[in-house]
Amino acid sequence: MAALRAEHRRALVCYVTAGHPDRAQSLALLRGLAEAGADVLELGVPFSDPVADGPVIQASSQRALEQGMTLDGALDLLAEARLTVPVVLFSYLNPVLAAGPRVLERAKAAGAHGVLITDLPVGADPAREAWFGEGPLDFVRLVAPTTPKDRMALIAQHGRGFVYLISRLGVTGMRDTISASLPASIAQLRSVCTLPICVGFGISTPEQATAVGALADGIVVGSAIVRAADGGTDRAVALARGLREALDAGVPA
């Protein structure tokens, strides 16, 4: 993130559900997205109750689970990929707890650099949060558009790597427009946070990437990548390449 900022570039963060559409294709997708210009990859661990996810990622998670993908399987996939870009392990809390007390160390050994837990808000479980925060992976925290300014500051203090700002209320999924309140949310978060800010939920087109990239330090694209992958790895990689070009063209030197 520091290198990108020094080069006046914005981060492209791409989400992949481990094991979707199948193991071989998700492996090819991880590698292809890195080659297409993704700066960070989020590797989603399939979960049976993905309450924060919309229908596209829910369906991808169910499909991966039906084929036997697990957290351990996701770590095996990551180790095999041998990626050259940072990877954030993206999971709900239950699969991580079920994997045992050494899971963060195992994730680091497999090639992960960060971890994001969707259902562990700041203050919900201080002991568990300390376990993540003191672990070997950068603990990426989420900020909602309705988060008060003082709580934004608290979240930023307890995070590492970058802050993931949710662009709108609701679950993940593609949207036709960017929330009108997003510029104000970014400005408020930036006033209390020194970490890079990456915005996700709803970004799916080059035009949206350009608009959000002009305000934030990076964009997170999930559902659009997953939906494209249903039509083949090449389609998802082409989408990422287009988003990369839009980000680079839209930010002045």
Active centre residues (catalytic): 42, 53
Would you call 219 helix, strand, or coil by DSSP?
Answer: strand
CB-CB contact of 11 with 199 (8 Å): no
Q: Count of alpha carbons within 13 Å of 35, Cβ hemisphere only?
A: 13
Q: Residues 6 or more apart from 225 whose CB is under 8 A from it?
A: 14, 15, 16, 33, 236, 239, 240
CA–CA distance, 124 with 134 (Å, rounded to integer): 17
CB-CB contact of 71 with 91 (8 Å): yes
Would you call 147 helix, strand, or coil by DSSP?
Answer: coil
CB atoms within 10 A of CB 160: 15
CA–CA distance, 242 with 17 (Å, rounded to integer): 20
Q: Which of 195, 201, 196, 240 is nearest to 218 (CA)?
A: 196
CA–CA distance, 137 with 135 (Å, rounded to integer): 6
